[in-house]
């Protein structure tokens, strides 16, 4: 078999059709590029950018472009509205600084004003809720960073519950209470706490009148501050009536003292403040319980009021007291037995349907107790703010029953202001002669005080009480 031969003529006939096709493809591609460049939409790197066009980018294309763009900076307002010197990094830093946490910083010092290291410092909110804890550094300094708003009355204090001592003696529970709200971005709050010896009480428990010493009387000191609500320290009197008690587990500011012996003779004091670092001599004179009785009448007619309620307001120093209530009979008469008196006597709350409630203090158990009630009291007013007295709508106005010992009870009545800032309500539970008023805006207390501070005349049961509640 002879070998196969490939001549140039037969090879040219096979390649030529492919060459023609290739040249045709190049020509078509060039034509497409020319058309696109004339329309201004080409992707060629050599194509000059379009000067301007009225054609909008299709929504789908815009979404793809936004998704592919790196989220480096998203301004809160158009960039054109910012100053020319405002760079993205600078604006971000300014916004973070404005939204930074609220700062509370301070220093714990001893009697020689030296910093005390390694001591726990606690932060409590205005209602006595625990917020945070930190430890003092080598110079006695500490700091809290708070992300949320703290309402006025929050407390920074030394945690002395672990048996903290100073100069070999039990330490006090020094604290700082801030009078205003604190929010992120506000100026830092600074305070100095002192680590002093705890306040110490010494004295005798004696029977009032005879001054006979009382053995085995239970002496309790209770905190009246929100952060330590219900905390107390106690001891028993010796055979000679003497006692010693150190206030270690809470501040010695605003405390209540109670003394009760095994015959239910008692004494209730407070609120009282005892300075830290000192020994206070306090003799405690206990009293026999009182038996009380009286009559309740309608002031206008003098007629007795049936089914009125008389309730003994227990002193704040008493733990879970058996609070007694007596109801009047058809003659308006009532009785309460074995009621322990405080230093200022006994406080009674009186309520009757269709009458204004009242709080009465009894100082003599042998005196005739006649209580006259009036028609319900109406309170009306307006809540304003600023120098232009702008009316505040949707503000909450709350009336709170105030105990004669200064603390507030859980008895309240509230009303929300209308669009003109006005409000009006009839007080059926809270007596005007023992009433505090609170104003809340957006959940924050902005005004707080006794009712008589906000009215031009002395409030009395059965009257109309005009109130001007101005928020500065």
Residue 85 belongs to some domain of the structure: no
Query: Does residue 381 sit in the same domain as residue 454?
Result: yes
Domain final residue, candidates 323, 345, 373? 373
pLDDT of residue 270: 80
Domain final residue, candidates 163, 194, 225? 194
Residue 97 belongs to some domain of the structure: no
Q: How far is 300 from 461, CA to CA, in rounded Å? A: 12
Domain span at residue 388? 377-471
Residues 252 and 198 sit within 8 Å (Cβ to Cβ) = yes
Residue 398 belongs to some domain of the structure: yes
Residue 401 belongs to some domain of the structure: yes
Query: Does residue 282 sit in the same domain as residue 307?
Result: no
Please state, for a pLDDT cut of 90, what percent of the chain lies above it: 46
Please state, for a pLDDT cut of 70, what percent of the chain lies above it: 76
Q: What are the pLDDT digits (tens) for 234-271?
A: 999 999 999 999 998 888 988 989 899 998 888 888 88
Tokens 């158009």, located at residue: 78
Residue 214 belongs to some domain of the structure: yes
Q: Which of 31-45, 154-168, 331-345, 409-423 has the lowest mean pLDDT?
A: 31-45
Q: What are the pLDDT digits (tens) for 368-406?
A: 899 999 999 999 999 999 889 999 999 999 999 888 777
Q: What is the CATH number of the domain that holds 280?
A: 2.60.40.1120
Phi-psi region of 320 (alpha: psi -120 to 50; beta: other; left: phi over 0): left
Nearest to 425 by CA among 437, 435, 413: 413
Query: Does residue 115 sit in the same domain as residue 183?
Result: yes
Q: What are the pLDDT digits (tens) for 423-449?
A: 999 998 898 888 999 999 988 888 999
**pLDDT of 30 higher than 60:** no
Query: Does residue 113 sit in the same domain as residue 186?
Result: yes
Query: Does residue 399 sit in the same domain as residue 355?
Result: no
Query: Does residue 462 sit in the same domain as residue 422?
Result: yes
Q: How far is 430 from 353, CA to CA, in rounded Å? A: 13
Query: Does residue 112 sit in the same domain as residue 186?
Result: yes
The encoded tokens of residue 303 equal 């007629």
Q: What are the pLDDT digits (tens) for 311-335?
A: 988 766 655 556 678 999 999 999 9
Residue 233 belongs to some domain of the structure: yes
* Higher pLDDT among residues 172 and 9, named by residue: 172
Which residues lie below 8 Å from residue 59, measured CB to CB, with a gap of 6+? none
Residue 331 belongs to some domain of the structure: yes
Domain final residue, candidates 173, 194, 215? 194
Residue 340 belongs to some domain of the structure: yes
């Amino acid at each position: 078999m002879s070998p196969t031969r490939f001549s140039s003529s037969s090879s040219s006939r096979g390649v030529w059709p492919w060459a023609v096709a290739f040249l045709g493809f190049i020509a078509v591609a060039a034509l497409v590029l020319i058309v696109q460049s004339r329309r201004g939409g080409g992707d060629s790197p050599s194509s000059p950018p379009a000067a301007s066009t009225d054609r909008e980018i299709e929504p789908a294309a815009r979404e793809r472009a936004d998704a592919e763009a790196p989220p480096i900076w998203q301004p809160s307002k158009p960039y054109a509205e910012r100053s020319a010197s405002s760079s993205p990094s600078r604006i971000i830093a300014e916004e973070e600084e404005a939204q930074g946490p609220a700062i509370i910083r301070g220093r714990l010092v001893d009697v020689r004003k030296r910093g005390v290291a390694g001591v726990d410092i606690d932060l409590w909110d205005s209602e006595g809720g625990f917020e945070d804890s930190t430890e003092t550094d080598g110079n006695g300094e500490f700091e809290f960073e708070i992300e949320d708003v703290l309402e006025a009355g929050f407390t920074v204090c030394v945690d002395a519950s672990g048996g903290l001592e100073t100069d070999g003696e039990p330490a006090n529970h020094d604290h700082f209470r801030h009078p205003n709200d604190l929010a992120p971005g506000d100026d830092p709050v600074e305070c100095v706490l002192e680590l002093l010896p705890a306040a110490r009480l010494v004295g005798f428990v004696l029977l009032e009148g005879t001054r006979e010493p009382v053995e085995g009387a239970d002496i309790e000191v209770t905190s009246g501050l929100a952060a330590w609500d219900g905390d107390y320290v106690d001891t028993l009197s010796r055979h000679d009536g003497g006692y010693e008690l150190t206030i270690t587990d809470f501040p010695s500011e605003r405390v209540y003292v109670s003394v009760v012996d095994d015959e239910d003779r008692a004494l209730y004091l407070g609120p009282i403040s005892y300075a830290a670092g000192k020994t206070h001599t306090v003799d405690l004179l206990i009293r026999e319980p009182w038996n009380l009785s009286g009559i309740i009448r309608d002031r206008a007619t003098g007629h007795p009021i049936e089914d009125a309620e008389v309730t003994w307001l227990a002193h704040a120093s008493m733990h879970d007291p058996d609070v007694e209530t007596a109801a009047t009979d058809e003659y308006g008469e009532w009785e309460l037995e074995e009621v322990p008196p405080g230093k200022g006597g006994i406080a009674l709350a009186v309520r009757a349907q269709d009458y204004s409630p009242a709080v009465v203090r009894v100082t003599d158990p042998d005196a005739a107790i006649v209580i006259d009630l009036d028609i319900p009291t109406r309170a009306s007013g307006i809540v304003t703010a600023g120098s232009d007295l702008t009316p505040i709508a949707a503000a909450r106005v709350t009336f709170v029953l105030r105990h004669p010992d200064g603390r507030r009870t859980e008895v309240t009545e509230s009303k929300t202001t209308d669009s003109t800032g006005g409000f009006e309500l009839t007080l059926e539970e809270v007596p005007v002669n023992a009433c505090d008023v609170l104003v809340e805006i957006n959940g924050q207390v902005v005004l707080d005080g006794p009712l008589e501070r906000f009215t031009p005349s002395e409030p009395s049961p059965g009257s109309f009480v005009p109130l001007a509640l101005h928020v500065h």
